[in-house]
Structure 1
Amino acid sequence: MLLDLTCSIVVYKTDVSDLKNAMDSLLDTTLSVKLYLIDNSPENTLSSIAKDDRVEYIFNGENLGFGSAHNIAIEKSLRLAKYHLILNPDIEFEKGVLEKVFDFMENNSQIGQVLPKVLYKDGSIQKLCKLLPTPYDLIGRRFFKKKKWALERNSQYELDTFSYNYPLNVPNLSGCFMFIRNSVLNKTGGFDKRYFMYLEDTDLTRRIHAISETVFFPDVHIYHGYAKGSYSNPQLLKYHISSAIKYFTKWGWFIDKERDQFNRDLLKRLKD
């Protein structure tokens, strides 16, 4: 019999207190679940916290990157569960959230992926629903963020007019909480291994969006630490730039008809 849900959390020198909060949130559920705790750290220091029999600890001994590490769990999940949850280690949520997302997916078979409302620790909204990016969007928001043209583009890219109070089918959802139907993952595959870190979530959501709905679901909320590491860490910025180059080389830099159509459809839904 299939499990209701498998989950993967990938860690790399992660704060243990944050990780425990994420694990406790995931395991405090009436659903049948299994958690894959996948450790990309250079040293094995976390096996002691994986004592619950629903947790499988996988120590890689090297940093495989975000997507490749999650793919280890996704490949296992496809044989075991109806849904798979990709979860960041700095996420926490109240009991009942998973059940409500699960029921929403069970009642809406056209949906392949869900993101709930995501809040900062102070309760304010994180705007994690976006258009698919163009090179102008990513360059402008990173290097020209005070320029008028960049501010205007970023306002549209981040869907500033969206209230986050109703469900919306969005082609670009955050990778901090990706609740995905495994029958859809069987068709799309997991993360593209070309991305070491950054934009792998955009790439996967886009592929899922091409064959099913990828929906923001406002009826439940989670809390996310959300540190923009590439804005302060030069090495992470290099990863971000490298991933952007790979993303646009794959999908198209300035000519990307699918991106343009997905974005037009979303902007139309916001106006209707």
Structure 2
Amino acid sequence: MNTKTQISSTIVLYNENYTELKKTVDSFLQIPFSKKLFLIDNSKENILQEKFNHPETEYVFNNKNIGFSKANNQVIDHIKNYSNYHLILNPDVVFESGIISELIHQLEKDETLTMISPKVEYPNGKYQFTARKYPAFLDLIIRRLNVFKTRVHQQEYRDLDLSRSFYPDFIHGCFMLFKTDDFVKINGFDERYFLYMEDVDICKKIDNTGKRKMYYPNVKIQHVKRQGSSKKIKLLYYHLSSAYKYFKKWGLVNKS
């Protein structure tokens, strides 16, 4: 008999807006089966713990910013042999509880699937192109400079019918639902990435296991998408640093 918790999740926090974060937490806690939410706080001040005192949440205060990848990986020992599915969730996402059952159903019926993600929209309903082809080094420059739109659109699979599910190279990491056993087997995220590119890297790691990732647009979520690296020098530095680590690890040319 399987006595595991059905789904666990991590949300990595850093100086979050409480009102926005509460919407995300409430979305998860409305899921109608056994669950556990880990709130991993990289902020310098512990001001959120008392606000999320719920039996299905666990708050972890790091007292320093250890980065997105390392913070997510803190739960690996907890979720091993504990949950069936594990959700990597951004603190600015809202979703209906019923979508989880549909996503889990897709994972359950396909042994080759490790991870699945839904359609993503901005709060105004505009579509977010979260399914992407693996980038070559030049693609990051093109996107940053906002030039060669045809190439950018190719990288976003705009030549496909995006109302249908398919298996992209990678999927942006605001909402990534994994089979827990698979997430544990690949040791989660590569902790060399402090912020950015860790979602691209983990999809490469999935490829190396012979399994797949599915983009499943039959259900949708809402994501604010802050795009911080285009606005703050420090975040841009993290993005460039992660890009360097990614291409050093996987090569400068897209080999998807």
In the other structure, the counterpart of 1:267 is none
In the other structure, the counterpart of 1:153 is 151
Query: What SS class does the counterpart of residue 166 from structure 1 fall into?
Result: coil
Tell me by how many angstroms 1:78 deviates: 1.8
In the other structure, the counterpart of 1:26 is 28
CA deviations over 1:160-191 (Å, ceiling 9, x no partner)? 22332111111210110010012212331111
* Correspondences of 1:61-210 after superposition (within 5 Å): 61-143=63-145, 145-146=146-147, 150-210=148-208
* Correspondences of 1:3-82 after superposition (within 5 Å): 3-82=5-84
Query: What SS class does the counterpart of residue 226 from structure 1 fall into?
Result: coil
Paired with 2:207 and 2:48, the residues of 1 have a C-alpha distance of 35
Paired with 1:35 and 1:76, the residues of 2 have a C-alpha distance of 11
In the other structure, the counterpart of 1:248 is 247
Paired with 1:200 and 1:104, the residues of 2 have a C-alpha distance of 24
Query: What SS class does the counterpart of residue 169 from structure 1 fall into?
Result: coil
More helix by share: 1
Structure 1 stretches of 4+ moved >3 Å: none
Structure 1 residue runs of 5 or longer lacking an equivalent are 263-272
Tell me by how many angstroms 1:127 deviates: 0.4
Paired with 1:35 and 1:48, the residues of 2 have a C-alpha distance of 15
Tell me by how many angstroms 1:192 deviates: 0.5
Structure 2 residue runs of 5 or longer lacking an equivalent are none
With normalisation by structure 1, the TM-score equals 0.90
Paired with 2:53 and 2:190, the residues of 1 have a C-alpha distance of 31
Paired with 1:162 and 1:176, the residues of 2 have a C-alpha distance of 22
Q: Which amino acid aligns with 1:56?
A: E
Paired with 1:183 and 1:239, the residues of 2 have a C-alpha distance of 30
- Which moved further from structure 2: 162-171 or 53-62? 162-171
CA deviations over 1:226-253 (Å, ceiling 9, x no partner)? 0111111111111100000000001112
Query: What SS class does the counterpart of residue 75 from structure 2 fall into?
Result: helix
Give the conservation status (yes or no) of the 8 Å contact 1:5–1:83: yes
Give the conservation status (yes or no) of the 8 Å contact 1:141–1:154: yes
Paired with 1:49 and 1:215, the residues of 2 have a C-alpha distance of 35
Q: Give the superposed CA RMSD.
A: 1.2
Give the conservation status (yes or no) of the 8 Å contact 1:8–1:87: yes
- Which moved further from structure 2: 93-102 or 150-159? 150-159
Give the conservation status (yes or no) of the 8 Å contact 2:32–2:97: no
Q: Which amino acid aligns with 1:222?
A: I
Give the conservation status (yes or no) of the 8 Å contact 1:74–1:84: no
Q: Which amino acid aligns with 1:19?
A: L
How many matched pairs?
253
Tell me by how many angstroms 1:153 deviates: 2.0
With normalisation by structure 2, the TM-score equals 0.95
Percent identity reads 36
- Which moved further from structure 2: 159-168 or 83-92? 159-168
